[in-house]
Structure 1
Amino acid sequence: MPEKQDEPVDLWRAYVPQWAHAPLSGDGAARFGGRWNPVGAPTIYAARELSTAWAEYNQGFVQHPALIARLILTGARLADFTNGDVLASFGVDKTIHACEWRSDLDEGRRPAPHRLREELLEKGFDGVIYPSFMSPGGTCVALWRWNGEEGPRLEVIDPEGRLPKTPASWL
């Protein structure tokens, strides 16, 4: 079983303002799928740096409006795929980060990160740390389990309660 992180991890998440009431939802990723999750699998994508969260959200395109929230992750078991030795221990190398996962899906193939995700889940990992594609030097986290009865805790930092509690603010 992989070790839990002892220290809390600060994460940054940029997301569509319409979903301001649900900063800990992985439903968008479940709906569309992502590099580290197939369609139907809720996943939180966040960055370890604020600038990386912004770059990943916009994907190099037009600067869309976004809500950026700070999250605190505790007790997670994360595979650090920024480390070449960790990658090698799973039989992959850094090319996994540049794979054309969208093309694989479009052509009916299961992307390599999706296959690796299943292996990591079976081995007790809650997510993965990986290098940002959009912000060189930045790092991201894909989290597959959070806030269940057991496992990692993820909380949004909102000390003044400014985030809405329902989607009614968008009606």
Structure 2
Amino acid sequence: MSLLGRGFHFEGLVYRGHNPRWQHAPESGQGAALNGGRWNRIGQPALYTSERFETAWLEAQQGMPFKTQPLTLCTYEVDCGPLLDLCDPSIRALVHPDLGSWMHEAWLEKKLLRQSVIAWEIADDLMRQGFVGIRVPSQAKGAAARDVNLVFWKWSRSSPTKVRVIDDEGRLRR
């Protein structure tokens, strides 16, 4: 069943905290492609962002808020769609029948064991349907209901898939 009619267009700011080694390419998504992520298989570029900079911090620290590692925090200007809102329980029910368990799937463990990851299957299906990304609740340790991420699988520097880092002063190495 196609869900494209339920998609939305996001216009606004999002945030991303990433390893400083990627500061030369903050829009590349190659780190996610090299390692895979909750919502992308190895080989599939993805740009994981957050609606709040506090959420970007939580995501980047991976559950170690008291032993922080160096971090480059960036703001991105977004004018992008169609996205699917997986924060909406009625949308999640249409995407996959088991509402709760797949949102909290131990994807990393499954990846390491070379098992199927439900989120990857969902992402593959949504990309085939024409979605360029999703809106999802953060699964970072300490995340609350207000902590929401936007994950992009397709983006560019211009609309309708614009996700562009704001670096007006040229502080990031290129």
The aligned counterpart of 1:117 is 123
CA contact (8 A) 2:80 2:159 kept: no
CA contact (8 A) 1:46 1:142 kept: yes
The residue type paired with residue 136 of structure 1 is A
**How many angstroms apart in 1 are the aligned matches of 2:85 and 2:101?**
15
- The one of 136, 145, 165 aligned to 2:144: 136
Tell me, what secondary structure is at the counterpart of 1:64? coil
1:104 matched to 2:110: yes
1:160 matched to 2:166: no
Q: Flag the 1:10–1:53 CA change in 2: closer, same or farther, 3 A.
A: same
- The one of 43, 66, 70 aligned to 1:65: 70
**How many angstroms apart in 2 are the aligned matches of 1:149 and 1:122?**
22
Shift in Å, 1:136? 1.5
How many positions carry a matched residue from both structures? 164
CA contact (8 A) 2:82 2:132 kept: yes
Q: Mean Cα displacement is larger for which, 98-107 or 28-37? A: 98-107
The aligned counterpart of 2:100 is 94
Shift in Å, 1:95? 2.2
Structural mapping, 1:37-52, within 5 Å: 37-52=40-55
Q: Mean Cα displacement is larger for which, 43-52 or 131-140? A: 131-140
Shift in Å, 1:39? 0.5
Aligned alpha-carbon RMSD (Å)? 1.7
Higher strand share: 2
Shift in Å, 1:91? 2.5
Tell me, what secondary structure is at the counterpart of 1:13? strand
1:83 matched to 2:88: yes
Where in structure 2 are there 5+ consecutive unaligned residues? none
Where in structure 1 are there 5+ consecutive unaligned residues? 166-171
The residue type paired with residue 45 of structure 1 is Y
Tell me, what secondary structure is at the counterpart of 1:142? strand
TM-score, normalised relative to structure 1: 0.89
TM-score, normalised relative to structure 2: 0.87
The residue type paired with residue 126 of structure 1 is V
Shift in Å, 1:150? 7.8
Structure 1 stretches of at least 4 aligned residues deviating more than 4 Å after TM superposition? 148-151
Tell me, what secondary structure is at the counterpart of 1:97? helix
Tell me, what secondary structure is at the counterpart of 2:163? strand
**How many angstroms apart in 2 are the aligned matches of 1:163 and 1:100?**
34
Q: Flag the 1:68–1:150 CA change in 2: closer, same or farther, 3 A.
A: closer
Deviations along 1:55-98, one digit per CA (max 9) or x if unpaired, are 00001122111000000111321111110011011134132220
